[in-house]
Amino acid sequence: MSAAQMNNAGGCLCGAIRFFSTDNPVDAGYCHCKLCQRSTGAPVLAWVSYPVEAFTYTDGVPARYQSSNHGRREFCKQCGTQIAYRDLERTTTVEVNIGSLDDSEAVVPRYHIWCDSRIQWFDTDDNLPRFPRSRPDD
């Protein structure tokens, strides 16, 4: 496995779930929406998008939870680590939590979305574009 491919591997806290993407990321960002805040217990979620056809679970089967009428979250049923989000309408990508990557520093977010929901006492020290709602391409 090449160094670039190792950047596309990851898993959960307990090791029961492992995943891999044969393709490199197509997008990355920070989400400040209330659903991401609630599902992670954090003020923001850093995510990376992989083409859905290139992404696979190599160990374990994630539990799934439909967190809204438009999306589903995938997580380890043993340790609770949230691994991914799949938009039920945008089926070309899977959004993976950057913190679940083996090399979380390999992916750098490009912008912030859903800033209308940002917790006011939390902000990141960057100059990335900020969008009040969804992604810039939506």
> What is the Cα–Cα distance from 36 to 15, expressed in whole angstroms?
23
Amino acid 5: pLDDT: 53
How does 72-99 read in b/e, with b if 16+ C-beta sit within 10 Å?
ebbbbeeeebbbbbbeeeeeebbbbbbb
Q: What pLDDT sits at residue 133?
A: 79
The list of the chain residues with pLDDT below 70 reads 1-6, 137-138
**Domain covering 3-117 in this structure, CATH number:** 2.170.150.70
Over the stretch 14-37, which tens digit does the pLDDT of each residue have? 999 999 999 999 999 999 999 989
